[in-house]
Amino acid sequence: MNCKKIEPHWWGKTLAGIFAGFFLSIGIVGIFAWLGPDGLTQQITEEQRLWKTQFNMWIITPIWLLILSFVYLFKTSRQAWTWLGGAACTSLIIIAILREML
Amino acid sequence: MKIKSDVLRTYQTIHTWTGITAGLLLFIGFFAGSLTMFSNAIDDWATPPDYQLQQIRPELHNELLNQVFADYPETVKNVTISYESNSSPIYWYGSGSARGFSLDDKMWHGTLDENGQLVTELKHVNELSMLVDYLHRSAGIVGEIGHDQAGVYILGIAAFLYFIALMSGLIFLLPSLVKSFFALRKEKGANRFWLDSHNLVGIASLPFHIIIAITVVVFSFHDLFYSGLSQVYGNKPLFGGEDKHHEVRYELEDLPTLNEIHAKVAQYAPGFSILSINFRGLTGEHPSASISIVNDKSFMRGPHNDFLFMNPYTLEIDTSSVTNGNGQQGIWGAVVTTFFGLHFGSYGGELGRWLYFIMGLGGAFLFYSGNLIWLEKRRKKQSTEQSKSSHFMANLTAGVCLGCAIGIAGAFAASKWLMLGDWNINVAYMWVYYALFLTSILTAFKFGAARFSIFGFYGLAALCLMIPITSLIGFIPQTGIWLPTSASDYGVEIGSIGFAIASMLAAKKVKKRVYEGEKNSIWYCSKYTSEQPSASLA
């Protein structure tokens, strides 16, 4: 760990939190939607699907909000973009693969 | 707890800026929101006793429904049967609909007279609570985007800032939390007192605030999230089954009786009673009945009731917000309905409503006091001249916060008088609210926050007192003003007296601070306007 102080970089970090953060939250929820319990590959009833989809939609928000709140802990905006953007891309690639394979 | 100083500094800045940008919007949302806890009582109070048509015995509703179908065939598309004592037994929209926001809605009301003959009337929907709810959901910001008001999206964005403000406030409070949580240091000056109470209210109601912030973001942006999810889902459907529905057309004469529907509901959700049944598309491809049910002993998911959807012909239950194991909502349904319930505060009966009312007002206090702390921090302690930005923010804070309360109080005070005229009452409410709200802001900027706060609070107290005084006029016959009759009517009157007393006390306090408080403050005014230099500018 380097001991450098946190740089403000307000705009860069905020935008990373908004955009990369949004796709990362969708990505995390997407992986959960495919592989989690009552997932997309399982046979579930219409009523179960109704509530599971709503649940998936609901948990995007807390994840995104937490990312947004803690994005300012990154030392620089470049770091924020690298980590969040990288994680978002990885999660979306995993989903693309899941969509193809399952 | 130890946190590195650069982290603390970062989050202190974030807290300040998120708070100052979102605070005033959230104030309106919370103040109006705490009043919506009593929206049923408010509508009951604002509705003349003869407005709703006579409720009938429950066993007659079936006959009433059939007569309405015969005389008004368009009602097969959308009609509601109600069993509530203060509602007409049947009603349907003449123009407008339950969805969306419109001031022009007209509603047909129907009942049976003593000979069993159908009686109907077309009336404007008078909902004073609609004004309050509109302010709660949009902060009064005018305009529409897509199918929702622009204000809904703006409050959604404010909710993001609000959540970040909560987290950042928590972070930079953590190190001193244990020491000073319950400390209300009055002796260290007004600023300390405001800061301590801001922290106390914020921490004590943190879970409530986290829930509100999350739910508001979801309420505002669910369309965005669903479209994101649909990309992730690929070719799997978001909703609905993968197997095709059989195309079945139902005939109206095959509709089961209301008794059969009641029996089915009682079997699915024992202990619940039916408030109303809304039939839709009875001759279309997807006939549905959405049934409002209540049980005071259980956690409720809607603002006023639980719901249950069924096919009214086959009596098959699609789903329900009641998760008692008779359906297949599972853990997912339980979590989702809990989110709704926690926002609406509808789970604890009357006590829960009061608790949410108090926490809502506490939230409004949080944003108001936050702005005050910001002002105190920035003031020049050695000079009577304060900066332009300080004055601007002080004027705006006092103008918006007091103006919102004055506007709502004015609409309540005018309500019974407005009912006497032959106009669209919902439009009239809007005029009253916006006229008072904008006048307040202009006055605050004209005379400065300090002076405005004094007569603003007196004005608010006067308007609040107007509410019960107006009702007293109901004792004089022939005025057209009606007396309160139910417990909830009296609740509204007593509540407004409570608000009147509170604003009188506030006016006294403010007066003392303005005239006798510390001189190097934006809140100080000398007694005579001529000696007052810059407060009126800004």
Q: What is the DSSP letter of B188?
A: T
Amino acid at B337: T
Instruction: Please identify among residues 49-68 of chain B the ones whose CB lies closer than 8 Å to any CB of chain A.
Output: none
Q: Which residue of B has its CA nearest to A94?
A: B232
Instruction: Confirm or reject contact between B6 and chain A (CB < 8 A).
Output: yes
pLDDT < 50: residue spans in chain B: 529-538
Count CB neighbours of B117 within 10 A.
9
Residue tagged 């997407």 (tokens): A30
The alpha-carbon gap from B278 to the nearest alpha carbon of chain A, in Å, equals 20
Residue B430, both tokens: 């809007």
**What confidence tens digit (pLDDT) does each residue in B198-219 have?**
999 999 999 999 999 999 999 9
* pLDDT tens, N- to C-terminus, chain A (102 residues): 445 788 889 999 999 999 999 999 999 999 999 999 988 888 888 888 889 999 999 999 999 999 999 999 999 999 999 999 999 999 999 999 999 887
Helices (H), B37-140: 39-46, 61-71, 128-138
Query: Which of B161, B172, B216, B225 to mutate: most A Cβ within 10 Å?
Result: B225
Please answer whether residues B457 and B506 qualify as being in contact, where contact means their C-beta atoms are separated by less than 8 angstroms. yes
Q: Which residue of B has its CA nearest to A45?
A: B241
Question: Which residues in chain B have their CB less than 8 angstroms from residue A72's CB?
Answer: 10-11, 14
Q: What's the number of CA atoms in the CB half-sphere (13 Å) around residue B36?
A: 21
Q: Say if the Cβ atoms of A57 and B234 lie within 8 Å.
A: no
**Model pLDDT, residue B12:** 92
Q: What SS3 state is found at B232?
A: helix
CA distance B136 to B265: 33
Biggest alpha carbon–alpha carbon distance for chain A: 54
Main-chain dihedrals φ then ψ at residue B280, nearest 5 degrees: -130, 145
Instruction: Please identify among residues 36-75 of chain A the ones whose CB lies closer than 8 Å to any CB of chain B.
Output: 38, 40, 45-58, 60-62, 65-66, 68-70, 72-73
Count CB neighbours of B261 within 10 A.
22
Going from the C-alpha of B514 to that of each of B93, B298, B525, B526, the distances in angstroms are: 53, 50, 5, 8
**Model pLDDT, residue B149:** 83
The alpha-carbon gap from B217 to the nearest alpha carbon of chain A, in Å, equals 7
Instruction: Confirm or reject contact between B327 and chain A (CB < 8 A).
Output: yes
Q: Say if the Cβ atoms of A61 and B167 lie within 8 Å.
A: no
Q: Say if the Cβ atoms of B328 and A54 lie within 8 Å.
A: no
pTM of the model: 0.89
Please answer whether residues B495 and B409 qualify as being in contact, where contact means their C-beta atoms are separated by less than 8 angstroms. no
Going from the C-alpha of B133 to that of each of A53, A61, B128, B129, B138, the distances in angstroms are: 28, 23, 9, 6, 8
Quick one: CA torsion of B406, B407, B409, B414, rounded to 10 degrees?
Answer: 130
Q: Say if the Cβ atoms of A72 and B10 lie within 8 Å.
A: yes
CA distance B429 to B426: 5
Q: Using alpha carbons, select from B70, B90, B61 the residue that is nearest to residue B253.
A: B70
Residue tagged 């003959």 (tokens): B117
Apex B364 CA angle, B360 and B370, nearest 5: 140
| Rg (alpha carbons) of chain B, rounded to whole number | 26
Which among B167, B218, B233 has the least Cβ separation from residue A33?
A: B233
The alpha-carbon gap from A87 to the nearest alpha carbon of chain B, in Å, equals 16
ipTM of the complex: 0.94
Taking the alpha carbons of A76, A81, A86, A87 in that order, is the dihedral positive or negative?
Answer: positive
Please answer whether residues B55 and B88 qualify as being in contact, where contact means their C-beta atoms are separated by less than 8 angstroms. yes
